[in-house]
Amino acid sequence: MDDFQGRVAVITGGGGGIGAAMAEAFAARGARLVLADLQLDAAMAVAERLHARGAEAIAVQTDVTVLDAVRALAEETVGRFGAVHVVCNNAGVATFGEIATATHADWDFTMRVNFWGVVHGVEAFLPRLLAQGQGGHIVNTASMAGLVGMQWLGVYCASKFAVVGLTEALHREVSRQGIGVSVLCPMIVATNINENSVTRRPAELRNPGEPVIPSAAGMVGSTITPEEVARRVVRAIERKDLYVLTHPDQREILKRRWVRQDRMFEPDVW
Ligand SMILES: NC(=O)c1ccc[n+]([C@@H]2O[C@H](COP(=O)([O-])OP(=O)(O)OC[C@H]3O[C@@H](n4cnc5c(N)ncnc54)[C@H](O)[C@@H]3O)[C@@H](O)[C@H]2O)c1
């Protein structure tokens, strides 16, 4: 998709962080925005910021873990703007800790938002994009933790690897039909994801005791702004790139994984 002017973009998790930055970047290029978030007030605040700059934007309270809610989001989007062109399945939560001590609630919560949230977005929007015949683009937010297994992030990694696999397959399936597909794989981005992952967690999936908000201090690598991520997403949509990689300092970690795998094809390595 080489022109955002007049196009309709839906962003889940559009109430803050990377989602809000993508909304700003798309709006600056003339797109009309639908900001879907569990937290309606947060999405409304972003929509108001966009209005103040002359953009068209609406906020829709949506829980991506509920298929009917995402279907209703698609209905509302098309009802309001007549079409949909860019779908960013971006809502996500972070879960930290060793796999040995992860609770079932950790797995359930993380997979519901990070994996099923993306699946629901694809289920609700892909048939419309295909039927419309106007092209379009799907951006699924994964993580570097969806490309390389990372300690203390096993539960999160599992959810994000699933998103990468789904998105690579989708790219092969629909790119010839004019639908671009990208998977966004950032490392550390300066957002409130750690706090939000505690406050957005439903009561029935909380662990006993006080929720611990992990500090980003233990994470390795540089931190970039959501705006830098959004700039790269815009470029990926314009160029129909499959991968959106944001942290050049993570190159080595990917290379090491590939070298390790490549070596195992050698017939003499036993
Ligand atoms: N911040 C990082 O370092 C980082 C790194 C790699 C990947 N990511 C991914 O980027 C995406 C955006 O994260 P962010 O850093 O902007 O975090 P964020 O917390 O700032 O934004 C995420 C938004 O998703 C919303 N949300 C949470 N659960 C939801 C649900 N069930 N339904 C609808 N909305 C829901 C939250 O209310 C929040 O507004 C996530 O998928 C995250 O996993 C973030």
pLDDT tens string 54-101: 999 999 999 999 999 999 999 999 999 999 999 999 999 999 999 999
For the record, the structure tokens of 102 come out as 């992860």
Judge if the beta carbon of residue 93 lies within 6 A of ligand 1: yes
Distance 8 CA to ligand 1 centre (A): 21
For the record, the structure tokens of 247 come out as 């942290």
Tally of CB atoms within 10 A around 143: 26
Name which CATH class applies to 8-263: alpha beta
Q: With cut-offs at 50, 70 and 90, classify the pLDDT of residue 213.
A: confident
E-strand spans in the chain?
Answer: 8-12, 32-37, 57-61, 86-89, 136-141, 179-185, 188-189, 223-224, 243-245
Task: Give the β-pairing of 179-185 and 57-61.
Answer: unpaired
Res 209: pLDDT: 84
pTM: 0.97
Judge if the beta carbon of residue 113 lies within 6 A of ligand 1: yes
The tens digit of pLDDT for each residue in 109-141 reads 999 999 999 999 999 999 999 999 999 999 999
Judge if the beta carbon of residue 42 lies within 6 A of ligand 1: yes
Ligand 1 atom closest to Cα of 15?
39
Distance CA 139, CA 86 (A): 8
The tens digit of pLDDT for each residue in 139-173 reads 999 999 999 999 999 999 999 999 999 999 999 99
Cβ partners under 8 Å of residue 131, min gap 6? none
Closest CA to 26 of 235, 239, 242, 240: 235
Distance 265 CA to ligand 1 centre (A): 38
Judge if the beta carbon of residue 121 lies within 6 A of ligand 1: no
CA 146 to each of CA 153, 180, 187: distance values in angstroms, whole numbers, following the listed order: 10, 20, 10
Task: Over range 224-231, report the average pLDDT.
Answer: 98
Res 2: pLDDT: 82
Ligand 1 atom closest to Cα of 114?
41
Is 156 among the catalytic positions?
A: yes
Ligand 1 atom closest to Cα of 188?
3
Cβ partners under 8 Å of residue 130, min gap 6? 174, 177, 179
CA 133 to each of CA 167, 174, 200, 234, 237: distance values in angstroms, whole numbers, following the listed order: 20, 12, 36, 21, 17
Closest CA to 22 of 39, 43, 41: 43
| Active-site entry in 4, 96, 109, 156 | 156
Judge if the beta carbon of residue 91 lies within 6 A of ligand 1: yes
